[in-house]
Amino acid sequence: MITVENLTKRYGGFTAVDDISFQVRPGSVVGFLGPNGAGKSTAMRMMTGLTPATSGRATILGQPYRELHNPGRQVGVMLDASAQHPGRTGREVLMVAAVSVGVSKARVAEVLSLVGLTEEEAGRRVRNYSLGMRQRLGIAAALLGEPQVLILDEPANGLDPQGIHWMRGLLRRFADGGGTVLLSSHLLHEVQIVADDLVMIGRGRIVAMGSKEELLSRGGTTVRSTDDARLAGLLEAADVPVTRTGSGLVVDAEPGVVGRVAAEERVVLLELRSGGSEGLEEMFLGLTAATSREGDAA
Amino acid sequence: MSTEMSTDQTLAPVVGGTDDVPTVTALPGRPGVPFGRTLQAELRKMVDTRAGRWMVIVMAAIAVLVLAAFVIWGPAEDASFQGLLELATLPLAMLLPVLGIMAATAEWTQRTGLVTFTLEPRRGRVVLAKALAALALAVIVLAAAVAASALANVVGGTGEWDLTAAAGAGLVLALLIYVLQGVAFGLLFLNTPVAIVSVLVLPTAWSIATAAISALQDAGEWLNLDSVTTPLFAGEMGGKEWAQLGTAVAVWVLLPLTIGTYRVLKREVK
């Protein structure tokens, strides 16, 4: 369980995290989604006691992070996979953590195989690791103390598509065992694969929150037919709002309503589905556009 | 681990999960990890990287080379145990502070603090563990230097065992002060090159200034770490010498150590 209440961080006049509140319950994998600079990492650092909050509070398993007994046993944290000493081998990174957390050498071997790092790879220095391997090492370190809660900042960054699906399986099993997962991402399609629920943040504020299905269905119904212009006219005549997109129509109604109109008027449908990701995607792109700096566009 | 349905009352909106998954409460116990484990981890981190390991190897190698060169080419009558040991510890006095600096700065230059300070959020204990780990490593290196000096004395020296207890203890204390100064400067700057340059340059600049400027001469006697440790090496400490050592250590070690520790405690870990 992760509880965040009115958490705020200000740097001088700049508000990095602005009064965010949410609670992640056990058994769930929640994606913390937002463009770069939205305040995800700052919020996660406040949850783990690395950055003092300006106001508000965050608790893990009902306690402030800094009050936790042996935090490594209760919360697995990975805030930056590349923040590892390049001169240590992967195994040594885990060995040092194992000493501090108080777990055996056998557990180090266990988590290495859990994240799919081979003996040979574990013996290599981190400097020679790809970003994907560093992510796996970071996950291994987070899992080392068999925690109840995972807080992972951009864990899927640098993973290939198989890697992202592997991570979904790993985190899903963790949550099915009663664990709580909060992971951040700046990529919608990535977090859609890995997480079941989303907290969307932009410019330090929560802009949307809920299950993936719920957020996705906000986009209405996507429909494509052999004659979109005619279908749009028919729908508008039936008082159903229609938006024309490049590849069809987005209709603010249930798919059933659209299907009935099409069937009655004998329009051949090529595609009919609930929402699609357009609603979420548009909201996300809007956020990205609003927060990205000029010059980044090139 | 006990399980209850809902432990903390909050108005925060819930995301994910269902009501039927039991809430796990935090493990009972004191905050953080036992200090012994933190110390063990910090000690390990000092020698498990190439840079750390080579520092130790290079220090030992230089001490051995200096001893060998002195036994072969040096004036034979000076090659007593104390003479040899003083010679062997000369490079250590230069390099041991670097070991302390590296211990203090690594969490910030390599950003490993993100892991270290999430595993032990009470940062003061990590700082203490680093200081003790650096001192422990210095004692080990010093023991090696003593053994090498003894060997050199038997093989090619005068065979005189002339080290007094006072001089021996003074030598150990002086080296430990230098190591702690390294840790202090490392914590103060949290940047390896800046800390190394400062440790080497600042005290030297200060001793030049006190020698050149007559108004500073009196202050120099009390605040020059190099000059106040000279009687310590020689084992000739009196009341005034101890007082001078105390003031110089306060300014060059304890002050940066205090400010540096405060910085680490308050700084945002990124």
Q: ipTM score here?
A: 0.86
For residues B150 and B19, the model is more confident at B150
C-alpha radius of gyration, chain A, whole number: 22
CB contact under 8 A, A62 and B112: no
Query: Mean pLDDT in chain B?
Result: 87
CB contact under 8 A, A96 and B48: yes
Q: What is the DSSP letter of B214?
A: G
> Which A residues, 165 through 194, put their C-beta within 8 Å of a C-beta on chain B?
178, 180
* Of A19-28, B36-45, B228-237, minimum mean pLDDT range: B228-237
CB A197 within 8 A of CB A212: yes
Is A251 a residue whose pLDDT tops 90?
Answer: no
Question: Chain B: nearest CA to A138, how far in angstroms?
Answer: 10
What is the percentage of chain B residues whose pLDDT exceeds 90?
Answer: 36
Residue B41's pLDDT band, with cuts at 50, 70 and 90, is very high
**Is B4 an 8 Å CB contact of chain A?**
no
For A90-110, the pLDDT digits (tens) are: 999 999 999 999 999 999 999
CB–CB contact A71 B121 (8 Å): yes
Segment B171-179 shows an average pLDDT of 92
User: CA-CA distances (angstroms) from residue B190 to A196, A295, B195, B205, B251?
Assistant: 41, 33, 7, 21, 19
Tokens coding B239: 């009341």
**How many contacts does A have with B, using Cβ atoms within 8 A?**
174
| Averaged pLDDT, A121-125 | 95
Q: Are strands A197-202 and A205-211 parallel, antiparallel or unpaired?
A: antiparallel
B5 at the A interface (CB within 8 A)? no
Is A277 exposed, middle or buried, given 0-12, 13-18 or 19+ CB atoms closer than 10 A? middle
pLDDT for position B112: 92
How far B128 CA sits from the closest chain A CA (Å)? Answer: 15
List pLDDT tens digits, range B224-248. 888 888 888 888 888 888 998 999 9
pLDDT at A291: 55
Burial of A119 (0-12, 13-18, 19+ CB in 10 A): exposed
Q: Which residues of B65-74 are buried (b: 16+ CB within 10 A; e: fewer)?
A: ebbeebbeeb
Give the whole-angstrom CA distance, residue A261 versus residue A249.
14
* CB-based contact A67 B24, cutoff 8 Å: no
pLDDT of residue B139: 92
- Spell out which residues of chain B touch residue A197, defining contact as CB-CB under 8 Å: 15-17
What per-residue confidence (pLDDT) applies to A158? Answer: 86
Report the SS3 class of residue A5: strand
- Containing B169, the helix (H) or strand (E) segment is helix B165-189
pLDDT over 90 at A258, yes or no = no
Which of B115, B130, B264 to mutate to test binding with chain A, by most A CBs within 10 Å of its CB? B115
Q: How confident is the model at residue A180 (pLDDT cuts 50, 70, 90)?
A: very high
Where is pLDDT greater, at A71 or B221?
A: A71
Please name the helix (run of DSSP H) or strand (run of DSSP E) that holds residue B230, with its range, or none: helix B225-234
If you write DSSP's letter for every residue of A59-103 in order, what string do you get? EETTB-GGG-BSGGGTEEEES-TT-S-TTSBHHHHHHHHHHHHT-
**What is the average pLDDT score of chain A?**
89
Beta bridge partners of A221: A251, A274
pTM for the whole thing?
0.84
